[in-house]
Each structure stands twice: as structure tokens, then as C-alpha cells.
């Protein structure tokens, strides 16, 4: 019987996940379907249960349900525990298992697709929401020289720093507000705020970009105000989050099917469209 998977979100019509997983399934000869399910804001658990009862094998979870998915999972991977957010649920007779593939997706995009070696680099991560939480541990595992967290509400970045310091394993980790970045320089600046959704850029001090630096916006599909400002401030390279999206999807696919799809043709296809 054909196995069924889905992405659950609100909104979800814009999601590229059905297209991505359809190509993965074709490339790896997997007998499966993947659909988009719109759940009402208070209806995530019901939507999951209905899909499970109809024979669903797993779901991806997007805005605004990643915390609900964390709560629903009976067991969770260490990276989901660290992020306190879940974007991949797998159903089995043992129950619902939660994982978070966002961080792996970001690291795969930065290192494989964009060719960066993050070890020893100065990384600035902007934002302290679900996306930032999801990528923090995988970023620390790449052994940067320093990982600096900065958020509009500085207290949240300080709290994240305190929460992740025990996991830093020798890497320097800092947390604070945007103004505290004055006079600093970074090799990689990652925008994990949702400012781009409203065509805004985080209000950053000038001079943050070192020579050969990369500005990366997790938002995809357009040249955001953050990327425009980064270019004006001297960032050598710009990247959006489309690669992260495809790579996190590939990791979810691997968790479900035990096969790793080639992401290059999928990324090329999406860039063309």
C-alpha cells in the first residue's frame, strides 16, 4: 500500500514541501504520497490524530505548530529536546516520535551547498524564536570560534545563551541585544528573525561584516531587506533559506524512508521556478 505523509501548518498552501517530497520520492523510487493539511489554530492534535487514523506514517510541522508537535511527541530526539520544537513526527506502533531537522538542514546548506567551513569562524545568529533554537545546537557542534546570539528583546538572547552554554563544549557563546554588537565583526551572519516576513530588517549597528563574510536569511523566495542591507554593509556573499528548506526536508525523508535523496536537482528545480 502507498505510504502517506503530509505537512501540517496554518497557513500551508504556500508550502513547497509537497513538491520537494514528490521529487525525492520519484528520485528514490519510494511508493508514497505527500500532501498539505491546513489545521485550525487550535486543531493541530486533532489533525494529526485524523491523519494517523487514515493510515498516515508521518508529518512535517510548520508555523505555528512546532511547539504543539513537541508537546504531542511521546519520545523525542536529543536535537528536538535541545530545540524544544519539533518539525518532524514519525508514527509507529510504539507511538509518536518527534525530531527537529531544521538545524541539520541549515548546516548542510552552509557547508555542502555554500562550501563554508564553520570551524573557527565568528558566527552571529539573529533572533531567539523557534528557528534560532532549532539551529543553535547544530551550529555549536561545528565548533565556531564564537557563536553570538542577538535579539530585539535582548533578555531572550541572554536566556538562550544561558540555556545552551552547558552544551557549548568549549565554544564561546554570547547573548544580548543588537546595540551590543557595535564594533564587532563576523564571518557569518544568519537572520533567524521573522522580520523579513514583514519586509523589515533587524536594526543592526554598521560594520558587522568581515571581509569574505556571508549574510544568510532563513527566509526564502525573495531578496529581503536584511540581504539588501547586508550587501550595502559589505557582506561578500548573500544566501536565502531555500537550501535549508530542501536539506531539512531531505533529513525528514531519511528519517521516514531510510534513504537519502540527492538534494541538488531539487534545489535547481526550485530555483528555476
Residues found near ligand NDP in the complex (CB under 6 A): 63, 102, 105, 127-132, 151-153, 156, 192-197, 200, 202, 218-220, 241, 244-245, 248
Integer-rounded Cα Rg, in Å, for the chain is 18
Q: Report the nearest approach of ligand NDP to the CB of residue 1 (Å).
A: 30
**Is 66 an active-site residue?**
yes
Angstrom distances, CA of residue 125 to CA of 76, 186, 189, 223: 25, 10, 6, 19
Pick between residue 17 and residue 30 the one whose CB is nearest to ligand NDP: 17
Q: Report the nearest approach of ligand NDP to the CB of residue 260 (Å).
A: 18
Cell of 94: 510504539
Active-site residue, from 16, 66, 156, 272: 66
Pick between residue 172 and residue 203 the one whose CB is nearest to ligand NDP: 203
CA distance 7 to 250: 14
Pick between residue 3 and residue 19 the one whose CB is nearest to ligand NDP: 19
Stated as kind and residue range, the H or E segment containing 264 is: helix 264-272
Angstrom distances, CA of residue 230 to CA of 17, 49, 206, 237: 28, 44, 10, 9
Q: Report the nearest approach of ligand NDP to the CB of residue 92 (Å).
A: 25
Tell me phi and psi for residue 108, to 5 degrees: -60, -40
Q: Report the nearest approach of ligand NDP to the CB of residue 134 (Å).
A: 7
Cβ contact 61:69 at 8 Å: yes
Pick between residue 156 and residue 237 the one whose CB is nearest to ligand NDP: 156
Catalytic residues: 66
Amino acid at each position: 500500500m502507498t505510504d502517506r505523509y503530509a505537512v501540517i501548518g496554518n497557513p500551508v498552501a504556500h508550502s513547497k514541501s509537497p513538491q520537494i517530497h514528490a521529487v525525492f520520492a520519484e528520485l528514490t523510487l519510494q511508493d508514497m504520497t505527500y500532501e498539505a493539511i491546513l489545521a485550525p489554530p487550535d486543531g493541530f492534535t486533532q489533525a494529526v490524530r485524523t491523519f494517523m487514523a487514515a493510515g498516515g506514517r508521518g508529518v512535517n510541522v510548520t508555523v505555528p505548530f512546532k511547539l504543539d508537535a513537541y508537546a504531542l511527541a511521546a519520545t523525542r530526539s536529543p536535537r528536538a529536546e535541545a530545540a524544544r520544537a519539533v518539525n518532524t513526527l514519525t508514527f509507529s506502533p510504539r507511538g509518536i516520535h518527534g525530531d527537529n531537522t531544521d538545524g541539520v538542514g541549515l548546516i548542510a546548506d552552509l557547508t555542502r551547498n555554500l562550501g563554508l567551513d564553520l570551524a573557527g569562524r565568528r558566527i552571529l545568529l539573529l533572533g531567539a524564536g523557534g528557528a534560532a533554537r532549532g539551529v543553535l545546537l547544530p551550529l555549536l557542534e561545528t565548533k565556531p570560534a564564537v557563536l553570538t546570539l542577538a535579539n530585539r528583546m535582548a533578555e531572550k538572547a541572554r536566556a538562550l545563551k544561558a540555556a545552551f552554554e552547558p552544551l557549548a563544549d568549549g565554544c564561546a557563546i554570547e547573548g544580548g541585544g543588537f546595540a551590543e554588537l557595535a564594533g564587532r565583526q563576523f564571518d557569518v551572519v544568519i537572520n533567524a528573525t521573522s522580520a523579513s516576513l514583514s519586509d523589515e530588517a533587524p536594526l543592526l549597528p554598521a560594520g558587522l561584516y568581515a571581509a569574505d563574510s556571508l549574510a544568510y536569511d532563513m527566509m526564502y523566495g525573495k531578496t529581503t531587506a536584511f540581504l539588501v542591507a547586508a550587501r550595502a554593509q559589505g557582506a561578500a556573499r548573500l544566501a536565502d533559506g531555500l537550501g535549508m528548506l530542501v536539506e531539512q526536508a531531505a533529513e525528514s525523508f531519511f528519517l521516514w524512508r531510510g534513504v537519502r535523496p540527492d538534494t541538488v536537482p531539487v534545489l535547481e528545480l526550485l530555483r528555476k521556478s
